[in-house]
Amino acid sequence: MAKSSLFRKKNVHDILNQVKQNQSENTNGELGDVHGSLGKHLGVRDLTAFGIAAIIGAGIFSTIGKASYDGGPAVIFLFLFTAVACGFAAFAYAEFASMVPVSGSAYTYSYVAFGEIIAWIIGWALIMEYAIGNITVAISWSDYLTGLLQGMNIHLPQWMQMDYFTAYNGHNEVNQLLQAGKTMGKIEPSLQAAYQAWAGAPQIGPLHLVLDLPALFIIVLITALVYKGMKESKNASNAMVIVKLAIILLVIAVGIFYVDPGNWSPFAPNGISGILKGVSAVFFAYIGFDAISTTAEECKNPQRDLPRGMMWAIIICTVLYVIIALVLTGMVSYGELNVGDPLAYVFQKLNLKWMSGIIAVSAVVAMASVLLVFQMGQPRIWMSMSRDGLLPKRFSKVHPKYKTPSFATIVVGFVVAVPALFMNLTMVTDLCSIGTLFAFVVVCAGVLVLQNKPGIPRGSFKTPYINGKFVLPIMILVALALSFTVYKKETTHFLTNEKERMPASEILSNLGEEKITGLKTYVATHDKIGLKKAEGDMESYLEKVEENKLSDAMRFMHVKENEYYQSGWNLFQHKIPTYLFLVILLILTYYTVTRNLSLIPTLGLLSCLYMMSELNLSNWIGFGIWLLVGLLVYFGYSRKNSKLNPVGSADHV
């Protein structure tokens, strides 16, 4: 196998000529079934609206609460940091979108910069952002809708508003907590709901029929809208964005009158570590701006409007996030915001229940708009891959009337709808984030690769050049100085791989029912005061108990240390992504110094790679397995049918 065949690249001139040819065929009525031009309907305002629609979703209605709880009012710096990181990546996306204004997004950009095998890997990874990400959004939308209906005293059976695995796992966890001494009234409402869903579900033999039907409903509705046409999707998106922004501005306008400046002190109660604790979670609040680039062929002037749309979307959303965070932490103490619906919570606490109802409606609209933009993105990625021969020809079919990738849209509907009935958020959220961050890393790297290459047509937008030769090494030296002075203890623990206590829930899971009962009996005899403070709840007790008391209790129960502590390889393996980040940081710093790399895409690459390193090793393994499956598809079908393969492209089916 020739190495050159794996890294064969698309020529920018050829891509631009193909776009002109498609447009010419469309104008002359020669469209046919495939490879036609999409309808051009989008301007700067529409693209900005799509960006806002994609970005403002669950982040402002849920993530902001946990982030505020961890970082206090200083969480605004976390939103600013994440906005800057995404801004770096947005510069890279904008430059490529201006250079190659087609629907392939990061997939096409990688084809130009790195070659076919990397382009395929990115295209396969983007399925995790758009298709799998939409499963997450659909499940979240279902949760918001059922909550809204409950507020209107309309109660759907639990088994038809929850996925199978959440109900099954929740039922088992509740049984375990009851065994540990917790009463049903003290168990989290979400776990109670899962327990009731499993217990009350109709059965076909041993199979419990638990299905998330609201998630199925919204996917079918959005897929039909996306299939119908870009003009209809644009109008729906613009309308939802107007409603969403109006309600957010109302929240700010009303909430500002209830702000108590005393709640902003201390401003950063948990220091920098507390602020950065939620960096990966807050990143989810910005996912989606890149989806704008998949609409390039439907823009009236993509080389001018795409960069502007991306930047305006990020700026507007960041301003709203910062103001909302300040209002929330001013209305109540940051310590009360560790809830799933912080906006509704603060207004309920202040007896403004009418505002809570408005917020619930806004959340439903916000999640629907996110679903709309993501459901538009995936078919256009597949359409571009099909045009290149890497997927069957039918995926590039453009509807003669609606001017949308019709077959690909229907397939995406099925790919999202079926798993949404059965899968839970935990299973898909991290896969979505690692796929998205990987695409961001490769796009930023692509700008660096093409930085000084001659003969490449440049668009009207180019990332501002700042030589990173001196800036990046200085930033690294400052980070090292802080690590071994201000954060010396944390750095030492990380480098020496010092053992760490497992979370209480994980300890209980390792012990099992019999040992939990014995442990509770021991604690009731030897630490009555501690158990009383925990109100008889072993999970709360294990979270707060001193190290020596925990060790004594576990030795008495003949529990091995590895059942309640992480150490050695079990602990080190979770640090592998961080060490990988550090190695790449050193390599990239060397090339930045020796080749004068541009600072903005370099920082974009590093900041996104850092956020990837914050994800668990299990997510990296899952991502690796996903890419391995993709490579099997590539070598089994795509490589021989590629349009760049003169031998096999004629057999493209």
What is the average pLDDT across 287-299? Answer: 75
Question: Could you tell me what percent of the chain has a pLDDT over 90?
Answer: 9
- Whether 179 has a pLDDT exceeding 50, the answer reads yes
HSE toward the beta carbon, residue 145, CA cutoff 13 A? 21
Query: Which residues are CB-neighbours of 503 under 8 A, at least 6 positions away?
Result: 543
- What tens digit of pLDDT does each residue of 383-402 get? 888 888 899 988 888 888 77
The CB-based long-range contact list for 355-358 (8 Å cut-off, 24+ gap) reads 355/250, 355/251, 355/254, 356/151, 357/151, 358/247, 358/250
Q: What pLDDT does residue 451 have?
A: 77
Tokens 């099909």 sit on residue: 386
What is the average pLDDT across 314-336? Answer: 87
Whether 381 and 126 have beta carbons less than 8 Å apart is answered as yes
Any idea where the domains of the chain sit in the sequence?
Answer: 3-9+41-151+216-450+610-641, 164-210, 469-497+575-597, 501-566
Q: What pLDDT does residue 427 have?
A: 57
Q: What pLDDT does residue 39 have?
A: 57
- Is residue 578 packed enough to be buried (19+ CB in 10 Å), middle (13-18) or exposed (0-12)? middle
- Whether 257 has a pLDDT exceeding 80, the answer reads yes
- What tens digit of pLDDT does each residue of 213-243 get? 888 888 898 888 888 866 666 777 777 788 8
Pure H helices in 332-388: 342-349, 353-387
466, 482, 469, 497: which is closest to 593 by C-alpha?
469
CA 595 to CA 646: how far, in whole Å?
Answer: 36
DSSP 300-341: SSHHHHHHHHHHHHHHHHHHHHHHHHHHHHHHS-GGG--SS-
Q: What pLDDT does residue 528 have?
A: 83
CA 93 to CA 296: how far, in whole Å?
Answer: 11
Tokens 């001139």 sit on residue: 13
β-bridge partners, 467: 598
Pure H helices in 573-616: 576-595, 599-613
Specify the DSSP class assigned to residue 397.
Answer: B
DSSP 74-129: GHHHHHHHHHHHHHHHHHHHHHHHHHS-STTTHHHHHHHHT-HHHHHHHHHHHHHH
Most confident range, picked from 12-16, 207-211, 291-295, 431-435: 207-211
Query: Which residues are CB-neighbours of 173 under 8 A, at least 6 positions away?
Result: 191, 194
The pLDDT-based confidence of 581 (bands split at 50, 70, 90) is very high
Please give the C-alpha separations between residue 264 and each of 276, 318, 421, 443, 576, in angstroms, as whole numbers: 18, 20, 42, 39, 37
Which secondary structure element, helix H or strand E, spans residue 207, and what is its range?
strand 207-208
Phi/psi of residue 212, each to 5°? -90, 85
Q: What pLDDT does residue 123 have?
A: 87
Q: What pLDDT does residue 606 have?
A: 93
Judged by DSSP in three states, 69 sits in helix
- Whether 21 has a pLDDT exceeding 70, the answer reads no
CA 319 to CA 202: how far, in whole Å?
Answer: 48
632, 609, 251, 641: which is closest to 433 by C-alpha?
609
CATH class of 3-9+41-151+216-450+610-641: mainly alpha
CA 70 to CA 129: how far, in whole Å?
Answer: 26
**Is the bond leading into 206 cis (omega within 30 degrees of zero)?**
no
The pLDDT-based confidence of 546 (bands split at 50, 70, 90) is confident
Pure H helices in 152-229: 164-179, 189-200, 213-228
Kindly state the tokens that stand for 230: 């870009």
Judged by DSSP in three states, 483 sits in helix
Q: What pLDDT does residue 635 have?
A: 92
Q: What pLDDT does residue 430 have?
A: 66
589 versus 335: the higher-pLDDT residue is 589
CB burial readout 274-306, b (16+ within 10 A) else e = bbbbbbbbbbbbbbbbbbbbbbbbbbeebbbbb
Q: What pLDDT does residue 74 have?
A: 86
Kindly state the tokens that stand for 321: 């996030």
Query: Which residues are CB-neighbours of 534 under 8 A, at least 6 positions away?
Result: 540, 541, 544
169, 158, 170, 174: which is closest to 209 by C-alpha?
158
Kindly state the tokens that stand for 370: 């996110």
Question: For the ranges 11-25, 115-129, 167-181, which has the lowest average pLDDT?
Answer: 11-25
403, 255, 295: which is closest to 54 by C-alpha?
295
Question: Could you tell me what percent of the chain has a pLDDT over 70?
Answer: 89
CA 158 to CA 193: how far, in whole Å?
Answer: 7
The pLDDT-based confidence of 31 (bands split at 50, 70, 90) is very low
Residue 597 region by backbone torsions, left for phi larger than 0, else alpha for psi between -120 and 50, else beta = beta
Phi/psi of residue 501, each to 5°? -70, 140
Specify the DSSP class assigned to residue 299.
Answer: B
Which secondary structure element, helix H or strand E, spans residue 249, and what is its range?
helix 230-255
Whether 382 and 131 have beta carbons less than 8 Å apart is answered as no
Phi/psi of residue 171, each to 5°? -60, -45
Count of CB atoms within 10 A of residue 97's CB? 31
The pLDDT-based confidence of 429 (bands split at 50, 70, 90) is low
Query: Which residues are CB-neighbours of 436 under 8 A, at least 6 positions away?
Result: 128, 129, 133, 287, 290
- Whether 33 has a pLDDT exceeding 80, the answer reads no
Kindly state the tokens that stand for 255: 């909430």
Question: For the ranges 124-128, 424-428, 540-544, which has the lowest average pLDDT?
Answer: 424-428
CA 284 to CA 287: how far, in whole Å?
Answer: 5
Helices then strands, each counted (H, E), the chain? 30, 4
Q: What is the mean pLDDT of the chain?
A: 81
379, 380, 382, 378: which is closest to 633 by C-alpha?
382
DSSP 33-62: SBS-PPP--B-HHHHHHHHHHHHSSHIIII
Specify the DSSP class assigned to residue 259.
Answer: -
406, 48, 104, 15: which is closest to 230 by C-alpha?
406
The pLDDT-based confidence of 58 (bands split at 50, 70, 90) is low
